[in-house]
Amino acid sequence: MSDSTDIAVARMRLRAPVIAVVVTLVMIALGIALGGKVIAHQVVSGLLLGSIYMTVAVAFTLTIGVLNFLNFTIPTLFMLTGMAAWGLLSGGYLTLAGRGAWLVALAVGVVAAVAASLLVERFTFRYLKMKHGDATEHAIPLVSSLGFLIIFENLVLIAMGSDSQRFAVPFRADLHVAGIVVGVPQLVSCAMAVAVVAALSFVLKRTKIGRALRTIAENPDTASLLGVDVGRVVPVVFILTGLLSGVAGALFTVNYGDVSPFMGDNVGTKAIAAMVLGGVGSIWGAIAGGLVVGLAETLSIQFFGGDSVAMTVWGLVLVIIVLRPKGLFGVAAIGKGKM
């Protein structure tokens, strides 16, 4: 990578957080100025929904940025958290936890998502690499992750049925800010999502394991020559992926109170749209893309009805691809200067 490219990448990394914050504030201000409280409320709701999309989009970005493949099991990990939590509560397994049973159930659900993610790693990378060499050079990881998606989803269908289930949260509170009603669970969820993504960004930039991940992202063979134990570091990617997906699933469950075996499908497609829109391989691009997709969804429902959401979101993605193929924050090709 040339010096000029390095400078461009460094400048984009500095500008990306500032641009994301400025765009968010501008959209809120425009919503209030042009549409009054109704549109302002939709803007706030879109940002809160976008915080869930951005968390899942970051999980996709982490996998494709480091391992260079699209992990199709991420929507299933999202779903496993909610369904495992509901199964524990409905089955009466956490009665000893008292009023905090729902929190324990969600925590166990996140652990289940991480465990499932490690299972995927075991068979999509570790085993296949031992048998076929560098599995990242083949389409096998992508296809095998799709297989795990189908297996996990059907196991849940067999065990718990296909109906949507109610996940009861023992508190509901709203804040009234300048006439705009904001749900406290949604606000807390948004703050948690931002905190988790910020912590991940810190890990990638400031820690030894983060430097190892970024080295593998550049070139796995060079990373091995530099002393990075790829076999030990790659599972960390899947742990982080499971954690991000699980946290997003838990936040979604608390906010909307419904779980089903198909709850990850819609969120997964929106997260992929957010990742592409923001720029594949860019953490801040995934964050900005998630917020934009959330806003596009709520505003589309407000102006055109619920049936227009998919058309609006994917139409926006197509426009961005045509005008800027690398996405809003994409500055480098996949495999160079990632993460």
Q: What is the pTM for the complete model shown?
A: 0.83
Instruction: Note whether residue 339 is domain-resident.
Output: no
Question: Phi/psi of residue 175, each to 5°?
Answer: -105, 140
Least confident of 35-44, 60-69, 252-261, 282-291: 35-44
336 confidence band (pLDDT: 50, 70, 90): very low
Least confident of 5-19, 32-46, 91-105: 5-19
Q: What is the mean pLDDT of residues 122-150?
A: 71
Question: Can you give the pLDDT at residue 306?
Answer: 81
CATH number of residue 10's parent domain: 1.10.3470
Question: Can you give the pLDDT at residue 270?
Answer: 93
Instruction: Note whether residue 337 is domain-resident.
Output: no
Pairing of the two strands 165-166 and 174-177: unpaired
Q: Which percentage of the chain shows pLDDT scores above 90? A: 25
User: CA 118, CA 237: separation in Å to the nearest integer?
Assistant: 9
User: CA 10, CA 331: separation in Å to the nearest integer?
Assistant: 10
Question: Can you give the pLDDT at residue 8?
Answer: 43
118 confidence band (pLDDT: 50, 70, 90): very high
The single-letter DSSP state of residue 308 is G
- pLDDT tens, 278-291? 888 788 888 888 98
174 vs 295, more confident: 295
Question: Can you give the pLDDT at residue 3?
Answer: 45
Q: What is the CA radius of gyration of the chain?
A: 20
Instruction: Note whether residue 178 is domain-resident.
Output: yes
Least confident of 62-71, 75-84, 147-156, 270-279: 62-71
**Under 8 Å between Cβ of 61 and 217:** no
User: CA 194, CA 39: separation in Å to the nearest integer?
Assistant: 23
Instruction: Note whether residue 218 is domain-resident.
Output: yes
Instruction: Note whether residue 81 is domain-resident.
Output: yes
- pLDDT tens, 196-255? 878 887 887 888 888 887 777 777 667 777 777 777 778 888 999 999 999 999 989 988
Q: What is the mean pLDDT of residues 303-315?
A: 87
**Closest of 282, 292, 261 to residue 60, by C-alpha:** 282
Question: Which of 16-25, 165-174, 272-281 shows the highest mean pLDDT?
Answer: 272-281
**Domain of 89, in residue numbers:** 3-323
User: CA 250, CA 256: separation in Å to the nearest integer?
Assistant: 10
Instruction: Note whether residue 328 is domain-resident.
Output: no
Q: Residue 30: pLDDT above 70?
A: no
Three-class SS of residue 49? Answer: helix
Instruction: Note whether residue 14 is domain-resident.
Output: yes
Task: Give the DSSP per-residue string, 89-127.
Answer: HHTTTTGGGGGGHHHHHHHHHHHHHHHHHHHHHIIIIIH
User: CA 197, CA 274: separation in Å to the nearest integer?
Assistant: 15
User: CA 325, CA 307: separation in Å to the nearest integer?
Assistant: 27
Q: How far apart are the first and last CA of the chain?
A: 15
7 confidence band (pLDDT: 50, 70, 90): very low
Q: Could you tell me the two tokens for 244?
A: 């991000």
Question: Can you give the pLDDT at residue 22?
Answer: 67
Question: Can you give the pLDDT at residue 100?
Answer: 82
Task: Give the DSSP per-residue string, 127-189.
Answer: HHHHHHS-GGGSSHHHHHHHHHHHHHHHHHHHHH-SS-EE---S---EEEETTEEEEHHHHHH
80 confidence band (pLDDT: 50, 70, 90): very high
Question: Which of 161-165, 269-273, 280-284, 285-289 shows the highest mean pLDDT?
Answer: 269-273
192 vs 4, more confident: 192
Question: Which of 12-26, 183-197, 256-270 shows the highest mean pLDDT?
Answer: 256-270
Instruction: Note whether residue 309 is domain-resident.
Output: yes
How many domains would you assign to the chain? Answer: 1
